[in-house]
Amino acid sequence: MPELPEVETTILNLRIKVRFRTFIDIWTDFKNIVKKPSSFEEFRKLIKNKKILRIWRAGKNIIFELSGGLSLLVHQKLTGHLIYGIWGLQSGKWKSKISGPLEDKVNSYIHLIFWLDDGKMLALSDLRKFAKVELWKTKKLKESEEIKNLGPDPLKISSAEFKNCFKNKKGKIKHLLMDQGIVSGIGNIYSDEILFKARIHPFREIKKLTNEEIERIYQTTKKILKKAIKLKGTSVSDYRLPAGGKGEFEKILKVYRREGEKCSRCGTIIKRVKLAGRSAHFCPKCQV
């Protein structure tokens, strides 16, 4: 699932490409991808001729603030990613008219297309069809539980605020880092990488962490997320940039999906263990 760096990278790219463009029309072959309003026909009617005024992020959600007091929310979920280009139908399949990365098969699972007023198209490719698209009144979205229940953005809070997020919490640190109600945007990939760099075992109970260790996690979180944004995210699975290419952070992953390999610090074999239905990758020697 795209995490904070992937979502932020997508937004930074789309601000250049689609900000101030107007939606001309919309197509889908899977109407259930639109969760709000309940009718795709109503969604299509409401969003046509709306201009994109602003694009911002709330946790892992991409929000297009539109003219007419509306906002389009896109949560890419497990395998979804937004891509920008020009496509044409060939034998019932959308084929990119732009040669290069957009022709990669991972970009071919197109289930939603927005036509823009400059002749370009914004598409949602989603192999598993888990992505969520919603159209809200902007004011209601900002006041919604969807947004209010999100924890603070880890890149926008101080050390004291970060520590306060975990105050009186119970559980293992990896699980808590991925809890979107505590801090928003961190998932499986970056929790593994953050804890490795901070030398903290993912199964450590939060109540047993010292103030210095939580400070280390805070500083490491900022460094890892900023580095990942600079390298345009991690494309170990389905995530791609709007132009169709891969992010570069996967080239410097230290533990995520490195099980069986030697730790880059001490040479111990990296382990992979299940934690609350998710995988934790870590060095059993370096991380204590």
Q: Which of 5, 6, 60, 154 is catalytic?
A: 60
Radius of gyration for the chain, computed over Cα atoms and rounded to the nearest angstrom:
20
Number of domains in the chain: 2
| Per-residue model confidence as pLDDT tens digits over 163-183 | 999 999 999 999 999 999 999
Tell me: do 195 and 112 sit in the same domain.
no
Residue 212 has pLDDT above 80, yes or no: yes
Residue 119 clears pLDDT 90, i.e. is over it: yes
2 catalytic per annotation:
yes
Summarised one tens digit per residue, pLDDT across range 230-254 is 999 999 999 999 999 999 999 999 9
- What pLDDT is stored for residue 72 in this prediction? 98
Half-sphere exposure of 208 (CA within 13 A, CB side): 10
Whether 188 and 138 map to the same domain: the answer is: no
**Domain span including residue 232:** 159-282
168 and 126: one domain? no
221 with 186, same domain?
Answer: yes
pLDDT tens sequence across 259-284: 999 999 999 999 999 977 889 999 99
Per-residue pLDDT tens digits for 120-160: 999 999 999 999 999 999 999 999 998 999 999 999 999 99
Q: Which of 2, 5, 202, 242 is catalytic?
A: 2
Q: What tokens were used for 199?
A: 């030398």
Q: pLDDT by residue (tens digit) across 32-60? A: 999 999 999 999 999 999 999 999 999 99
Contact 54, 67 (CB under 8 A): no
Residues 172 and 80 both lie in one domain: no
143 and 210, same domain (yes or no): no
Q: Name the average pLDDT for the chain.
A: 97
Domain CATH number, residue 117: 3.20.190.10
* pLDDT of 53: 98
Q: So what's the pLDDT on residue 137?
A: 98
Distance CA 172, CA 204 (A): 5
Give the model's pLDDT for residue 261: 98
Does residue 26 share a domain with residue 116? yes
Residues 6+ apart with CB under 8 A from 121: 84, 85, 86, 87, 113, 114, 115
Segment (H or E) for 62: strand 61-66
Choose, from 222, 248, 278, 284, the residue flagged as catalytic: 278
Active site residue 3: yes
The number of CA neighbours under 13 Å toward the Cβ of 29 is 13
Tell me what the mean pLDDT of segment 90-107 comes to: 96
Domain finish residue from 148, 169, 191: 148
Do residues 100 and 194 both lie within one domain?
no
Cis-peptide into 37, omega within 30 deg: yes
Clarify whether residues 43 and 90 are in a common domain.
Answer: yes
**83 in the same domain as 49:** yes
Q: How far apart are CA 52 and CA 109, in angstroms?
A: 24
Task: Determine the Cα–Cα distance for residues 212 and 195; give it in Å rounded to an integer.
Answer: 14
Which of 187, 5, 146, 2 has the alpha carbon at shortest distance from 78?
2
Give the integer Cα–Cα distance in Å for 155 and 59: 11
HSE-CB of 102 using CA atoms within 13 angstroms: 20
Are 144 and 63 members of one domain? yes
22-39 pLDDT, tens digit each = 999 999 999 999 999 999
Q: Is residue 194 part of a domain?
A: yes
Q: What is the pLDDT of residue 1?
A: 83
